[in-house]
Amino acid sequence: MKLTDNEICDITQRLEAGKSLPDKYRLLLFEDKREVELV
């Protein structure tokens, strides 16, 4: 899996703003899991 610079920037901005990630990013980053625990 290789993310583009724009995708990385979008993910970072969403996380810093406290927003949830769209399904396309969640599935890319965390495979098939619907629930992800942040630690």
Q: Give the amino acid at 3.
A: L
Q: Where are the alpha helices (DSSP H) in 1-39?
A: 5-16, 23-30
Of the pLDDT bands very low, low, confident and very high (cuts 50, 70, 90), residue 14 is very high
Q: Give the amino acid at 13.
A: Q
Of the pLDDT bands very low, low, confident and very high (cuts 50, 70, 90), residue 7 is very high
Residues of 2-31 as b/e, b for ≥16 C-beta within 10 angstroms? Answer: eeeeeeeeebeeeeeeeeebeeebbeeeee
Per-residue pLDDT at 34: 62
pLDDT of 26 above 90: no
- The total of structural domains in the chain comes to 1
Beta-carbon contacts of residue 36 (< 8 Å; ≥ 6 apart): 26, 30
More confident position, 38 or 23:
23
Average pLDDT of span 11-35: 84
Of the pLDDT bands very low, low, confident and very high (cuts 50, 70, 90), residue 29 is confident
Range of the domain at 8: 1-39
